[in-house]
């Protein structure tokens, strides 16, 4: 399969992961019995570098930052899918950094999350690794010598 198709598939999956994360990270199922914990996160105030914050503030900030970074990665991955083989060859470090970052994301998801982010992260990782492994075009290899 062509790297451009793999990057486009990964991009769509990353954007869906971002959407799910942004819509769901603040949700709590009553079966989790987390109401007391969440109330405590809302009510426990502390001063950090001159700002009055709660643990809920930090949780919300981290959740939105992750969602925003997923959106950025989805756009970046879409852009990789529109590049020529020669351009992709020049971006070897970027391609592998993206693939390895999602491999780490998959591991963290497997360790700490649940089925949906594990599956999305694993499929994205596979797409990114296979795309990064795509052979370089001959003329680009020749120019690197």
Q: Give the pLDDT band of residue 135 (cuts 50, 70, 90).
A: confident
Percent of the chain whose pLDDT exceeds 70: 93
Q: What number of other Cβ atoms are within 10 A of residue 71's Cβ?
A: 17
Check residue 84 and give its pLDDT: 93
Residue 23 has pLDDT above 50, yes or no: yes
Q: Give the pLDDT band of residue 140 (cuts 50, 70, 90).
A: very low
**Residue 50 falls in which region: left (phi positive, over 0), alpha (psi -120 to 50) or beta:** left
Average pLDDT over residues 13-42: 95
Calculate the alpha carbon distances from 21 to 7, 66, 97, 128, 140 in Å.
20, 8, 22, 20, 39
pTM of the predicted model as reported, rounded to 2 decimal places: 0.89
Alpha-carbon gap, residue 80 to 4, rounded angstroms: 7
Q: Give the pLDDT band of residue 142 (cuts 50, 70, 90).
A: low
What average pLDDT is seen over the chain? 93
Q: Give the pLDDT band of residue 137 (cuts 50, 70, 90).
A: low
**Token pair of 84 as six digits:** 């020529």
**Token pair of 144 as six digits:** 């690197």
Residue 39 has pLDDT above 60, yes or no: yes
Q: Give the pLDDT band of residue 143 (cuts 50, 70, 90).
A: low
């Amino acid at each position: 399969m062509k790297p451009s198709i793999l990057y486009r598939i990964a991009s769509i999956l990353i954007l869906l992961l971002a959407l799910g994360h942004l819509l769901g990270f603040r949700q709590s199922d009553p079966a989790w019995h987390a109401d007391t914990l969440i109330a405590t996160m809302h009510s426990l105030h502390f001063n950090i570098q001159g700002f009055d914050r709660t643990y809920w503030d930090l949780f919300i900030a981290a959740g939105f930052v992750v969602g925003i970074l997923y959106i950025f990665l989805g756009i970046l991955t879409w852009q990789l899918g529109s590049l020529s083989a020669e351009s992709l060859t020049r971006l070897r470090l970027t391609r592998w950094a993206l693939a390895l970052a999602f491999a780490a994301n998959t591991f963290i998801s497997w360790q700490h999350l649940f089925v949906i982010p594990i599956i999305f992260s694993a499929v994205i990782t596979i797409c990114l690794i296979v795309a990064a492994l795509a052979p370089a075009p001959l003329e680009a290899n020749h120019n690197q010598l």
